[in-house]
Amino acid sequence: MKRPSSNPIFLLCLLLVITAKISKAQTEINALKFKNIKEFQGYFKHTGKNMPVISGHRGGTTNGYPENCVATFENTLKHTPAFFEIDPRLTRDSVVVLMHDETLDRTTTGKGKVSDYTFAELQKFRLKDPQGNVTDYKIPTLKEVILWSKGKTVLNLDHKDVPLEMTAQILKECKNDMVMLTVHNAQQARFYYDNNPDNMMSAFVLTKEAFYTYEKVGVPWKNMIAYIGPTNKPKNKELLDMLHAKGVMCMISAAPSYDKLKDPAERAAHYRETFIVGADILESDLPIEVAEAIKSIMPESRRNLGEG
């Protein structure tokens, strides 16, 4: 029997090949990539045969990875396809940055209101991870994150203190239509649709009354997904059916509800239930955990996504 080669050059080459494969596996991401608007909108259209979709709330924070940070988005995408809800805010000199809170204290080494600082001043601070540990990451601008996202994922821009007109202008400058815009009412949806009829929106549709308000303003349902609340309430069923009949995907956000449960098994059960009862999208602070929890309800062809 031929013994394995003990040639040091051969062993070095073998080590380099193995290291390269491991490195590639650690850096590959599960991208959400669309060729055009029709494909983008088609992915978010309810058909009754859709795969469960995961949204990373503020990116999907975990140890070492702060919210609203590109490194965090990339870490999540190593584990699962996902799109990301993010939070644009204005600095004192009108630069749009990512920050959920009005103040810096919880998530950065800074203190006070975001709006009291210029962008240059904010760059002196560092982001903290969910445990409060200081990282090397800085506060990013919305523009740089939109440019990063192209061909990788979809961003869902929440509405904080940035005027709608300014957000619309930034999208034009970045030349990336594969971005979603959170709208809290039908009037905001109408503004974005009039500005660009290709805009895709994540609309707050928490009641039947809200549903009819969106119908009345005339924004096509193909331009929207619908956020319907934080829990799998039985009374959601009628609203789900109304939206599904229009081809609209429905989203539940576990961030203020199921993500807060201390027992991982209990969280996982609620994540699975969200899709079993009919929701199409689950938004979560823990998207990697969600991806693992729902493997058992995914078709076999999709169960191994994110493992390589």
pLDDT band with cut points at 50, 70 and 90 for residue 300: low
Range 71-99 average pLDDT: 97
pLDDT, position 249: 98
In Å, how far are 100, 162, 165 from 114, measured between CA atoms?
A: 10, 12, 20
pLDDT, position 12: 53
pLDDT, position 25: 42
pLDDT, position 299: 75
Q: What is the set of domains in the chain, with CATH numbers? A: 31-302 (3.20.20.190)
Please give the residue that has the higher pLDDT: either 306 or 237: 237
- In the chain, the DSSP E strands lie at 53-57, 83-86, 88-90, 96-98, 155-157, 179-183, 200-204, 224-229, 250-253, 281-284
Range 146-159 average pLDDT: 97
pLDDT, position 5: 53
The pTM score is 0.88
Separation of alpha carbons 257 and 231, rounded Å:
7
Range 168-186 average pLDDT: 96
The mean predicted confidence, pLDDT, of the chain is 91
Residues of the chain above pLDDT 70, percent: 88
pLDDT one-digit tens code per residue, 265-294? 999 999 999 999 999 999 999 999 999 999
pLDDT, position 28: 85
Q: Is residue 21 over pLDDT 70?
A: no
pLDDT, position 233: 87
